[in-house]
Each structure stands twice: as C-alpha cells, then as structure tokens.
Structure 1
C-alpha cells in the first residue's frame, strides 16, 4: 500500500471495500478493491482469486483495466481503472425522459463488443447488469466490470452453478439447468430493456414471484413508440425463454442496424478532438475531426504567428496596462483570475500558471523602470502537469477545477475555506474529498468562502458564513462542503461569490441571492416603478430578487464588488446597483449626500452599445462592450482604472488603450479588490524585436529565444 494514497471510500459490499486512490508515482486516480481473505469461506476466496485471474486475461478498451494485485496483511488488494461517470444504473436513474434510439444503441453496442471479446476468451460473465457497467465522465464510453463470479469454460461443456443477480438471471438458471453463453445474452436483453424503458424487465417483491415471472418470460412489452421495430424485435429475441432462440453476439452484430452503429462506435471512440483547426462541413456534422497529415511546416508557422495571446495587468500601483510575461511565446490562455494576493491563469493545454511579483528587482517582463512597479515572473503550479479547466481566487485561497470534474484547493485555510474539514494552510492543491462523488462543473471563490456547482445542478458551499453568504440558512462557518438548498423548480447553471454574498443564475436566467444586501446590492429590496417599497438587509438562504428590472429581465452575467454589483441582461444592457461613493455605478457621487439609491442605474455609453462582460472591484468597475472596448470607472487610486484620470474619482466610463494588437479579441476578464487581469488574443502590429521576444518567452530559470538567431 506504500505505492498508493487512499482518498475516499466509494463502495462497500459483502466481499470488502472499494477505495478511490492516488498512485504516488504519477498521481493517477485508481480504484483499489480490498478483499479480507481471513474472514472468507473457501468458496469466497476462490471467487476473489477468480476475479484476479479473469482480469489478468482480459485486456479491452470496453473492459475495466486491471493494473496489479498484492497482499496487504490478510487482505487481497486489486488495483483497477477508475471510471468517473459511475454506473449505467445510476445514469439511467437520473434520466427524466426515455433515451433516443441513437443513444441506446451507442451504449448497447459497446457492451456487446466487450461481451464478444469475453466470450472469445471462453469466459462467461454470469453477472451482467447495469450496476456492473461503468461509464466515463461524459457517459459516452461503457466499460464492463466485476468479474468476481465469472466462469472460465475450459471446454464446450455447460456450467452448473446457480449464480448472478436475481433480476438478471436466466430461466435456465432459475430451473437449475446447465447454461452457457446464452445466459449472458439473456442478461444483455435485461440491460437493453432498461436502456429502452428506464426500468427493469423483471421485478417482484419476493423471490418466488420473481422466479415465476422469469421462468415464464413474462414482461411488459409496451415499449415507447419512438423505438424502431428492429430494436424492439431484438429485445424480444434476447428475452426468449428458450436459450436456443436467443441470438449470439455474432448474430446480433450481423444485424444491419447494429452494423451501422458498430461502424460509428469504432470510428468515433478513437477520434481525437483537434482544436483551432478549420474543419470541413462533413467533419463538423460528425462531431469530430482528424489532423491532416498534409499540413506543411510553413503553414503551421504562419498559423502560429497570426494569433498571439497576451495577459495585461493594472492596478496595485500599475497605472496603465502592463503585459505579463508568459512561459512560452505560443502559450494560449483560456481564463485569467485575479485575487487579492494571486494572479493566475489556465492555459489551453490545462496548465495552471501563477505570477509571482518582486518589487526589488527588474526581471524580464517588467514593463517600466520604476522600482515601485512590481516585476512578475510566471511559474507553473507545482505538482500539476495538466488537466485544469478553471481557477478561482479568494482573498488568500485558490480553488482549481480539473477537466474530470475534480475540485482542488490550496492557500490559507482561514474560516475553513479550503473545504478539507480543518483550518490548515496548504501550499499545493489538494483534492476536496467530500465532492469526489460529484462531477463539479463550476466554482467561485468569495473572500473567505467557496461555492461549487455539480453536473447534477447541486450547489455546495463552505467557509465563513457571516451574513448568510453560504446560503445554508444560518451564519455559521463550515470547513467541509454542505449542500445548498434553492427554491423548488429552479435549476442552477452558474454560481458567483462576492465579499459577503453569493448569486446563482438559473436556467431561465433569473437571479437568486443570499448574504448581505447592504445598499440593496443584491436587488432583494422590493423596488417597483414607484420606488423602494420595502428594504431587506440580508438573506440567509437563496432568494429571488425583487428589484426591477432584475426581477423581470433575463440575466446573462452578474459580478459582485465589495459594496456594489453589476448585472448584464440578455439584451446586453448593463445595470449598476449598490454604493456609489466613488462613482463605481458610472454616475457622479452626490457630494455630502446619500450615495446608495437602492435603485439600479443603467450604464449608457452609446444608444446602440451592448455589453458582453463586466467585473467589479472594490471601488471600481471594468466592462467589455460588444465592439471589444474595455471601459473603466470609479476610484482612480493606485492605477486601478488602468488609465489616466483627473481627480480621485472618474465616474464616466472611458476606454483603456492596448497598443500593439490588431483584431484584438477579449478572452477573459477578472478583477479583485484593487487589481485587474485581462487576457486577449489578436495579431501583433509589428514583428517583435529580439529583446521583446526574450521578455515574452521568459522562463524562470533560462532565457529562451523564440525568433531568429542574431547574424
């Protein structure tokens, strides 16, 4: 066991426990099945040893991969592949409606392919069921598992032992007759029935009644109308009472409608998604593409030089946008994230980059000679080689999400915001074990709290709960993720955390808010055309907004500042609400008066201008227009507007300049208390000189020249 680190218990049964583990040498996630041999009968030990033997023999992409087995004290440990999507049974239980025939065949054919291979090795599975079919993260690839009671046939004789799960056992097994591969085909019929109807073919409240129903092959044949006759006809053949009437795997594969799907599965499962490549109309329709072997070196070089990515930073003493160095000149950026103490980004190839500052030395990449302007050097996050798709930063903690839906956190553990059950600090990302059974699809960090959204639409929160920011109905602090209730009939699609509040956007583009409503920054006041009719100071759980126009408009984007909020509606209008002491609502503050009207203000730049993104800092706002202009307004202190301005407040939205690019496209925007990060892509106006190329390809240990060598 010294080669593995246990992460969490994922299952327990009569034969032992199943753990999700990390292999120490490469951090690969595996499943370890522990079987206590000392408490087992002779037959049970034989079953465990049989599973090891069968797994060693079977090597197929649609069968769970076997890695090794070893003894740990008195326990037999089997190391196997980890399938993130759970079981086919769980997947079908979550479906609100019947699957399409295309999806039924896509899943069924893969199980069929695996079974053909199993039977070709003279092995009976004997326990085929939806609980033993595992899926990948996207629920597209099936893998057969659990060979504990499989039978190796050394000849053409039939097996005699009565084994299997009651709902899936064949009539001949119920009657104690010898059986062969046709019993596995009966189980395939039961699986196909579940795929078609989302329920089991044979179910009863007691075993005698179940056996009676199976031996009579009595099941409901009222199949959904959208399935074709060939499919339902195959299902009826598989559930024939007489084994001889059931088709074999080879016979099923010869069916024309199965052959077509076999061809698609064999092609699609091997296809590799190629990004940033022009594809033909045919390839787009098929949903996959293959890299051309005819691409010349010159065409590749031209493509690389056309589009460059850059990350700009301002605020925190940097008065105009400063281009941050990237590890390599061809680094492509997916997302940037700016925290109070961290600047980070996720690259196209799934790497997490952090920028470290040094105000006392001028490292390559520092744009300016002033000693008060920090120099930044990029570094890849230690212990992480790829697979990241999202990062979010709080005041002193960071959460990052992998492309497999696994959440990791690190930084300061104050308030339990790392979610590991304690308040300890971590220097490297560590998996949040409490969410391992879920696929996380989105994350957001507040100052000292975190929210995570799963693929099932569930929300989890943890950290400091002051003011009700966690949405759990109280103000308590939690150091592990807790399920957050939201109003019935609401489906969450995004989460946003602020300093002391949180917002959820629903599938119908409505806002639900929790936490402090100081200055009505969450829109929880009852505001109508007549003005403010009822004020709300805070909400302890997610509540629908009541302030017009938020309550009756479709919302596409929300950003929470310290005391103000920005909201973009579906038609591209931008509204500001909250404290306007420093002009952060894009209107001049009232001298000596009340700067919290508690009524949203629409930002008007031009009559036809639409907004596509916005981010609120502590006392300022940054917004992106549809035409690609980057506008800022609010308090001008320490360069947080990224432009020159007269006075301490600049309430009028004005554009920031980014020299050096043509056809500039905004990739990602993020702000923190006093700083901003912006990732862009475009074509550089002029060929870079050698010195600039050195600067933009700075590696923390070496200079790397990306251009021509000097003559």
Structure 2
C-alpha cells in the first residue's frame, strides 16, 4: 500500500505522511509507522483492506474506530482520526515508542532481572486506570494482554488494540468467546455470560506476568489450558513480593467473577496502600535502573581545553535508565533498559566542528547537527540488546541474534558488501543465520560472535586487525580462523587491533603491534612470536586466568581472575 494521503474530510490540511516502517501485522490489517510532515510527528496508521474481509471481519475492523472514538485517557492509545481510501479503512493513532510490555518483560526474564515491587505496581496501576476508563464508557476490552499494552519512551502505559472490544448496553452481557486463550476468564472458557469482571481476570494475568516474568496459565494443549484456568491452577508468585501484592493477585484471579473487585475498587482502595508501602521500600536487591519514578541514568560529557574543564549533562529523557552506552569520536549511542535507542553527535569531534559524517547516524536524515539525544525510531520494537559506535557508523544487535548497521560506509564497516552509506539501520544479511551473542566495535572494524562459537569480522583490514590472515578490507563478515580448541567468551576491538578472551582464560590478539601494545606483560607468554602486525590471532597463555582486557592507544591493560 502506498503512503496514505488523507483527504480534506480527515482534517489533514495538506499534511503529508512519510512511511517509516511496518510495526505490526494482524488478521485484519497492517500497522505502519508514519512521519507527518511538516511537523515531524510520528503516528501509527492501521490499514485495513475492508473489501477483502468477510462481513464479520468488517464489523470487527470498524468496531476499533468506534471504540477508539469513545475513549480519551492518558493510558489509552489516543485516536487521531480515520478515513477510507480505495477500499481501505485507515485508522490514525498515537505512536508509543517504547515497545510493548511483553517485550520489556521478556528482556527482563532473559536477564533474570525481576521488576521491583514499586515498578511493577506503577505499571499495573496505569493499566488499571485505562481499564477503569473503558468500563466507565461501557467498553469491554476482551483481549487485554501484555502484547497489547504499549509503553512510551517515558514509560507511560498505553493500552491499545481494540479490534474485538465490545460496547456494552446497561442490561446486556456478552456471550461471544473472543480473546487470547492464555488470558480468557473461567466464565469465557465455560461458555457463560461475562461482563467487565472478565477484563479484571485479564488484569490478574497481567499482574502475574509483572511479578513472575511468565504467564500465569500455560499448557501444551487448549483443553489442558482450559482446565488450569477454570480451576485457577497457577504457581504462586515469587515470595520476594509483599503479602499485600500477592493478596491483590489472588483477589483478581478468583474463579467466581462476583468475588473479583471492580477496576474502580482496585484503583481507589486496593492499590494505593500497596503503592505507598512499595515507595517506602528501597528494594536494594533489585536496583535495576528502572524500578521507580525517579530512577534514571545520567550521562556527563567532559570537555577539556588547556586548564579549562567543563562537565555538561546529556539531555536524555528524564526516566531513561541505560543498559549500554557506546562512544566514538563522531557520535554516541545509548540503549535504555526498555530497549529504546538514542543517538547524538559528539560536539566538535577532534576539535573541528562539522568533520563528522554527512548524515545523522541512524536518524534517516542528512546532516543536521544533533547534539541532543534523538530516538532512533526505526529500531523501536525490534528488541535491541546491544549497541556499538564506530567512527561515523553504528551497529545494533537484537534479542533474536540479528545485526543491523547504518552510517558511513567509506571504510567498509557496514557489512553490506560495498562502501555505500546507509542512513537507515539495515540488516547484515551475511549474519542472518549466525545468532549473534556478542559484539565489539572499533573505529573502523567490527567483531561479532555467533551462538555457534564462530567469530566474524569485517571492516578495515590494515595491520591485520581483523585476524583474517591478510590486510585487505572485508566488506561482509568473514569467519576468523581460531586455534583448535579455543572457545570464545568475549570479544574486544581497539583502534587498530582485536582481542578474544577464551573460556579457558587465554588471550588472543591480532592487529598493530608497532608500539608494543600487544606484547605480553609480565606473567604472560606467547605461544608464537608476535610480529609488528599480527594478521592472525596470536594466542597468549598465562599462569593467571584472564577475565577481560581493554585497548588504549599505546597499551593493553589486562584484568586477571584472583
């Protein structure tokens, strides 16, 4: 489908929509992220090919516009308008750029990093507020799940996806069984009439996921899942959470809907004392950078000129808690705990303004100096877990093991097979089957470790820094030959050299040794003589087990295990 051009009836007033990327596909339509010009605001437009749907499917598609138009709440995805064009229904709504709650919880589960009680209750309270607003307008969501709960870059909850929501009459109860099986209430599973209390059951399922980082109910088959749901057969939530919070969960997951509290009761009576108690608790065992409303990361930029030194805070979003920060001579890349990526230029890199690349790295635009952090919208929702910054280029790895690059391709560092620039993050196709688990990015080369233990390198090859046995540039990732029996634990990239630390605590080095920075310190010895330029990884052994190492311009510090 082409970029939508709203007509005058849509109130666009000449607004132009520029497609950014597809953010989701469902049974009845495709959700596409657009940038509205000239104001530059990001919006999501759900595109539904109405003529290709059955009558029942058309009703569901049109229902979302009807429900969205009824609702106006801080924690509900905001409806901006709808129109029809060429047989397609277009629904315009606000974009929540922080991904989904499901993605956040999956990332936390992968790191075995539970949410603090304060953080969990804060998120849950916002979901409850959204459901309360819906119920006040006689709307049942009927498909509440963590995949339909979105987050903004400031961690504000936005409940969305109202395709199967129902507007209830005052004396009518719903009977149609719809929704995601894991979140169905017992009464829905048994084919009974249901009302707002079914959404309350789904709230209980969401709260359980916030506490346990897994679904409350799961089974290998639908009949087994139904049996668990109708008997409320779920594992107890982690004991690290207070008895009050666990009691709230129990009240929501009651099989008798009449016993479950309403959304009003939850927000007005049950949540406030729990949130107050959680705010008084330090939760020192879960200092994760995202637990409370005041938790954040602060990045300071240090500049020195002669005897003059200045320290300036970088203007990241107020609640941003960083997971990774990559810095090069041209720009910085920051990854938040919510997997949102920000990038900004280094001010006056090398002391000469305007010497960086001719475009904003990852921001899909030609050169406009960006000294303030800008969100890389193209990466939102992709589950980015690692970032790297070279001179004029950026590298990103996702939780699925895919690698994307963008920026200046003059040194061949993008891995796309040529020296072309790329302003939009693009997949490195040669690594699609590698399942990358570790990255190291130097000024002009990249190392990527695959899940199978294979090490890949690409970029500038001078001084043999790639470890490929030659000094030629590698325009696509190439496998690095390692000595037999070496299992890589970590990879490191310096200005003109590379290093690998093995699981046995050995160090392998390749690259420029003209200054002797790769020569072994006391206590280390070489298996082979290290030349001025080591084109293949040279293995060092030691009476100590090496934990990690770092490169500087003229030396290589090594940290050993005691």
Q: Same fold (TM over 0.5)?
A: yes
Asked whether 1:125 is paired with 2:119, we answer no
Matches within 5 A, 1:2-151: 3-71=16-84, 73-94=86-107, 95=109, 96=112, 98-137=114-153, 140-151=155-166
Distance in structure 2 (CA, Å) of the matches to 1:226 and 1:87 = 25
Deviations 1:534-590 (A, max 9, x none): 34675878x9x73669964765x532x4xx5443869xxxxxxxxxxxxxxxxxxxx
Distance in structure 1 (CA, Å) of the matches to 2:105 and 2:233 = 19
Deviations 1:654-696 (A, max 9, x none): xxxxxxxxxxxxxxxxxxxxxxxxxxxxxxxxxxxxxxxxxxx
Deviations 1:631-656 (A, max 9, x none): xxxxxxxxxxxxxxxxxxxxxxxxxx
Distance in structure 1 (CA, Å) of the matches to 2:526 and 2:240 = 53
Distance in structure 2 (CA, Å) of the matches to 1:141 and 1:219 = 32
Distance in structure 1 (CA, Å) of the matches to 2:165 and 2:246 = 28
Distance in structure 2 (CA, Å) of the matches to 1:192 and 1:433 = 36
Shift of residue 174, structure 1, vs aligned partner: 1.8
Number of aligned positions between the proteins: 466
Asked whether 1:516 is paired with 2:511, we answer yes
Q: Contact between 2:488 and 2:501, CA under 8 Å: does it hold in 1?
A: no
Asked whether 1:195 is paired with 2:213, we answer no
Distance in structure 2 (CA, Å) of the matches to 1:461 and 1:136 = 36
Q: Indicate how the Cα distance of structure 1 residues 519 and 375 shifts in structure 2: closer, same or farther if over 3 A, else same.
A: closer
422, 427, 435: which one aligns with 1:434: 427
Shift of residue 287, structure 1, vs aligned partner: 3.3
- Give SS of 1:90's match: helix
Distance in structure 1 (CA, Å) of the matches to 2:242 and 2:326 = 49
Q: Indicate how the Cα distance of structure 1 residues 37 and 156 shifts in structure 2: closer, same or farther if over 3 A, else same.
A: same
Deviations 1:58-101 (A, max 9, x none): 33332233344444544333344444443322332332154443
Asked whether 1:287 is paired with 2:284, we answer no
Q: Indicate how the Cα distance of structure 1 residues 465 and 529 shifts in structure 2: closer, same or farther if over 3 A, else same.
A: closer
Q: Contact between 1:558 and 1:567, CA under 8 Å: does it hold in 2?
A: yes
Distance in structure 2 (CA, Å) of the matches to 1:4 and 1:505 = 49
Unaligned residue ranges in structure 1 (runs of 5+): 266-284, 290-307, 313-320, 358-373, 436-440, 454-458, 571-711
Distance in structure 2 (CA, Å) of the matches to 1:553 and 1:213 = 47
Deviations 1:154-178 (A, max 9, x none): 4342122211111111122122222
Using the size of structure 1 for normalisation, the TM-score is: 0.53
Corresponding residue for residue 191 of structure 2 = 176
Deviations 1:598-626 (A, max 9, x none): xxxxxxxxxxxxxxxxxxxxxxxxxxxxx
Distance in structure 2 (CA, Å) of the matches to 1:235 and 1:513 = 52
Asked whether 1:477 is paired with 2:474, we answer yes
Distance in structure 2 (CA, Å) of the matches to 1:476 and 1:251 = 65
- Give SS of 2:77's match: coil
Distance in structure 2 (CA, Å) of the matches to 1:24 and 1:443 = 37
Deviations 1:408-456 (A, max 9, x none): 85445452x3466753246xxx231439xxxxx9984523x35799xxx
Q: Indicate how the Cα distance of structure 1 residues 511 and 12 shifts in structure 2: closer, same or farther if over 3 A, else same.
A: farther
182-191 or 384-393, larger mean C-alpha shift: 384-393
Distance in structure 2 (CA, Å) of the matches to 1:231 and 1:518 = 59
- Give SS of 1:546's match: strand
Shift of residue 466, structure 1, vs aligned partner: 7.2
Deviations 1:687-708 (A, max 9, x none): xxxxxxxxxxxxxxxxxxxxxx
Corresponding residue for residue 699 of structure 1 = none
Distance in structure 2 (CA, Å) of the matches to 1:240 and 1:262 = 25
Corresponding residue for residue 419 of structure 2 = 423
Higher-Rg structure is: 1
Shift of residue 258, structure 1, vs aligned partner: 3.5
- Give SS of 2:31's match: strand
Shift of residue 127, structure 1, vs aligned partner: 0.2
Shift of residue 187, structure 1, vs aligned partner: 0.8
- Give SS of 1:78's match: strand
Distance in structure 2 (CA, Å) of the matches to 1:64 and 1:333 = 30
CA RMSD across the alignment:
5.3
- Give SS of 2:427's match: helix
Q: Indicate how the Cα distance of structure 1 residues 121 and 514 shifts in structure 2: closer, same or farther if over 3 A, else same.
A: farther
Q: Indicate how the Cα distance of structure 1 residues 214 and 70 shifts in structure 2: closer, same or farther if over 3 A, else same.
A: same
Unaligned residue ranges in structure 2 (runs of 5+): 6-15, 280-291, 316-324, 334-341, 361-366, 376-386, 397-402, 429-437, 450-454
Shift of residue 152, structure 1, vs aligned partner: 1.5
Shift of residue 476, structure 1, vs aligned partner: 7.9
Q: Indicate how the Cα distance of structure 1 residues 60 and 496 shifts in structure 2: closer, same or farther if over 3 A, else same.
A: farther
Q: Contact between 1:7 and 1:433, CA under 8 Å: does it hold in 2?
A: no
Shift of residue 332, structure 1, vs aligned partner: 7.3
332, 349, 373: which one aligns with 1:387: 373
Indicate the structure whose relative CO is greater, using CA pairs within 8 Å and at least 6 residues apart.
1
